[in-house]
Amino acid sequence: MPKIVDHDERRAHIVEALMRLIVRDGFERATMREIAAEAGYAHGAIARYFPDKQSVLTAAFQRLHTQANDRILAGVEGLRGLDALREMCLEILPFGEAGPRYAKVVLAFWDHAAQDREIWEIHREHNLRWRQLMHRFLGEARDDGELAPEVDIATAVNEVSARNAGWQMIAVLMPDEAGDAHLDQGLDALLDRFRARR
């Protein structure tokens, strides 16, 4: 009986191989030949799933964001206001042992997005979605009386977004300063600035 091949699983496996390659060897080393070798396939075997390097990069960047979105939506279920915003940030920030590796992939894609319109569009679409969520949670915080009256929500969204992006960079370039304790303290300090004094 012929073996049934799960093509979606194969694509996901190739994408994961690309991400491992970026973490270990850097973005420039991620050729189609190297991606195939990392995935354990012959060079020509991945062409049926991804015709060129650009298509693998696009799929990987899309997967990175989709996984983050799934974690965020699961994490904030049943929460609102600043509790929901904190949980969202916990899912975005480079926490845990894998955090710096994840951040390295994120930074590599940001750099590529600056040169590549397709990757730029994916990045923009997902980040606009995240900003809308942040805006919603801050609006809930205002409705619930937990947001300080002087906080401008649009400015706060910019600040949270910038802090999250900054922590990704610190995790790669200064990992000793981006451990879980540092991230927790930084996040709590930021959210405390938004919180109404009772």
Domains annotated for the chain, with CATH where assigned, are: 1-51 (1.10.10), 56-194 (1.10.357.10)
Q: Per residue in 36-55, pLDDT tens?
A: 999 999 888 888 899 998 89
Q: Copy the structure tokens of residue 39.
A: 């995935």
pLDDT tens digits along 53-105: 889 988 988 888 888 899 999 999 999 999 999 999 999 999 888 888 888 88
Q: Residue 112 is inside which H or E element, if any?
A: helix 99-113
Distance CA 166, CA 171 (A): 9
Q: What is the C-alpha separation between 198 and 148, in angstroms, rounded?
A: 10
Rounded to an integer, what is the distance from CA 71 to the centroid of its chain?
Answer: 10
- Using alpha carbons, select from 40, 12, 178, 187 the residue that is nearest to residue 98: 178
**What pLDDT digit, counting tens, does each position of 146-178 carry?**
999 999 999 999 999 999 999 999 999 998 888
Structure letter (DSSP) for residue 29? T
Termini Cα distance of the chain: 70
pLDDT of residue 3: 56
DSSP letter assigned to residue 27: S
Higher pLDDT, 47 or 198: 47
Handedness of CA 169, 174, 175, 179 (dihedral sign): negative
Q: Is the pLDDT of residue 5 over 90?
A: no
Please name which of 178, 164, 159, 187 lies closest in space to residue 82, comparing C-alpha atoms.
187
- Identify the CA nearest to 130 among candidates 59, 70, 192: 70
Exposure letters 30-51 (e unless 16+ CB within 10 A, then b): bebebbbebbebeeeebeebbe
Mean pLDDT of the chain: 90
pLDDT of residue 4: 59
> In whole angstroms, what is the distance from residue 95 CA to residue 98 CA?
7
Is 90 exceeded by the pLDDT of residue 24?
A: no
Place of tokens 């923009």: 124
